[in-house]
Amino acid sequence: MNIKCIPFYELSLDELYEIMVLRQEIFIVEQNCPFVDADGKDQLAWHLMIRDENNKLAAYTRLFDKNVYYEGYTSIGRVVTSAHARGSGIGKFLMKNSIEKTIELFGNEAIKIGAQSYLIKFYQSLGFELTGNDYIEDGIPHTYMIRPVEKRHQ
């Protein structure tokens, strides 16, 4: 597995194209949610990409500094795993790396996500806590979750 995390303006055109294809395959086609994925926030994000042994994009997230996506929080979004990579544990690998990179880039801050409700237990296993704020986005139940600031041993 190859992990790369870079800001938008360092993405190659091929990388950007691969990211947009993966997001469209999963969010729009597979989940049957017609929406404008290009939301104007990609330029503000760091893009974490995981490639498989064949150098194919297998998983991806966007990482945001505090106050960019959610007021008072850093954030991880557009969490996506390709259909060909599922069942390999790559989702957990992706999120663990995304959490670590978010803390490395933006400091030890609380991380807020908008999670699809069926993934609540998955995100709880990574330290995210329910806020009680549920919502529907593009016809899919979601909930806001927060991963508190990590406690550092001194």
Task: Judge if pTM exceeds 0.95.
Answer: no
User: What distance separates the 2 farthest-apart alpha carbons in the chain?
Assistant: 49
Number of H helices, E strands in the chain: 3, 7
Tens of pLDDT, residue by residue over 46-55, are 999 999 999 9
Tell me the C-alpha distance between 16 and 68, whole Å.
21
Residue 86 has pLDDT above 70, yes or no: yes
Weakest mean pLDDT among 2-6, 63-67, 114-118, 149-153:
149-153
3-state DSSP assignment of residue 84: helix
Q: Encode pLDDT of 5-19 as tens digits.
A: 999 999 999 999 999
* DSSP secondary structure letter of residue 73: B
pLDDT at 75: 98
Q: What is the pLDDT of residue 124?
A: 97
90-112 per-position pLDDT tens digit? 999 999 999 999 999 999 999 99
- What does the pLDDT read at residue 68? 97
Q: What pLDDT is attached to residue 53?
A: 92
When pLDDT is cut at 50, 70 and 90, the band that residue 152 belongs to is low
Q: Give me the architecture of the 2-109 domain, per CATH.
A: 3-Layer(aba) Sandwich (3.40)
